[in-house]
Structure 1
Amino acid sequence: MPSPLSPIDIQIKRLPHGEGLPLPAYATAHAAGMDVVSAEELVLEPRARHAVATGFALAIPEGYEVQVRPRSGLALKHGISLPNTPGTIDADYRGELKIILINLGDQPFAIARGDRVAQLVVAPVQLASFTEVDSLDDTARGTGGFGSTGV
C-alpha cells in the first residue's frame, strides 16, 4: 500500500469576520476536498448568485492552486452550485476567499454563518506554452466535437 502524500503548508489568515469559524478541514481520512464554511448569513433566491465571504485569506505556495468545488449534497438536494466550477484560487492572490454560489433550484436557500458551502481541493499547477503550427497530427477522432464519441 503506498504511503500517504505529505501535505503542503498553506498559510491562512483569519479576517475579523472569520472569528470563531473553523479552518477549512477534511471531513474524513480519505477526503480529497476540505469543507469551507460561510462567514455570513444570507438567503440565496432562485437563479441568484452571491460571493459568500469565508472570513479567511490564503497564501498558496507557488506551483499550486486551490480549486473551489460545489458540495454534492447541496447540489442534489437544493440546486446550489458554483457557476464557475471548479473555481481557481491562484498562488499570488491574497484577498479574502469568497465562494461564488448560484441557486439553480426553485426555492430560496438560507445560508447561516458556519454552514459548509463548498470544498477546497489543493492541486499542483503545470505551466504550458503554445507553439503555433500550420497543421496538427491526425487522430481517430479528428475534428469530431461535442457528442462525437458516444450517444
Structure 2
Amino acid sequence: MAKVLIKKLDPAVELPAYKTEGASGMDLMALVKEPINLKPNSSCLVPTGLAVAFSSDFEIQIRPRSGLAAKNSISVLNTPGTIDSDYRGEIKVILFNHGKNDFLINNKDRIAQMILTPVIKMDLEETDDLPETIRGEGGFGSTGK
C-alpha cells in the first residue's frame, strides 16, 4: 500500500475511504456552501476541500462515478483528470452534464472517485525512422468496427 498524505482544507470535510475491500477508488465529495445547479451541456468546477502529497512514482486519477453517469448522465469532463505528485492545491473536479435535465450538486454529494496509479516516465529518443508494423499508419477505425 502506498502512503498518501491528505490535508483537510476545511474542518467540515470528510476524508475519502474505500467503501469495499475490492474497491480501487475512493469517492470524493463536494464541498459547497450553496448547491450548484449544473445545466445540461454545461460544466462546473466542484471543490472537495482536500489537498494531497504522494511519491513521484504515482499520480492520482479523478474518474467519474458509474452511478452518476448511468442514472444522471454526469461525468468528469477531463476523464481521467490527473493530480500530479507535485501539486499541492485543492483537488477540484470538473463535472459535465451530458443529460437533458438540470443536476443539483449538494454539499457532501459523492461526485467522483480518485485512484492512485503508478507512473512510468518516458525516455524519448529522436529518430528519423520507426520500425514497420502490419498496421502501419492506419488509425481511427482502420482495424475494423
Q: TM-score, normalised by structure 1?
A: 0.90
Q: Which residue is equivalent to 1:99?
A: 93
Match of 1:74 among 51, 68, 76: 68
- Give the percent of matched residue pairs that are identical in Structure 1 and Structure 2: 48
Match of 1:31 among 23, 27, 35: 23
| Matched positions, count | 143
Q: Which residue is equivalent to 1:141?
A: 135
1:110 corresponds to 2:104: yes
Q: Which residue is equivalent to 2:114?
A: 120
* Deviations 1:38-96 (CA, angstroms, capped at 9, x unpaired): 01131111111111000111112221100000011111111111111001000000000
Q: CA deviation at 1:22?
A: 2.0
Unaligned runs of 5+ in 2: none
User: Aligned AA for 1:73?
Assistant: G
Q: In the aligned structure 2, how far is the partner of 1:80 from the partner of 1:130?
A: 37
Q: In the aligned structure 1, how far is the partner of 2:17 from the partner of 2:140?
A: 37
Q: In the aligned structure 1, how far is the partner of 2:12 from the partner of 2:20?
A: 22
Q: In the aligned structure 1, how far is the partner of 2:104 from the partner of 2:77?
A: 18
Unaligned runs of 5+ in 1: 1-6
Secondary structure at 1:96 match in 2 = coil
Give the CA RMSD over aligned residues: 1.0
Secondary structure at 2:117 match in 1 = strand
Q: TM-score, normalised by structure 2?
A: 0.94
User: Aligned AA for 1:84?
Assistant: N
1:89 corresponds to 2:87: no
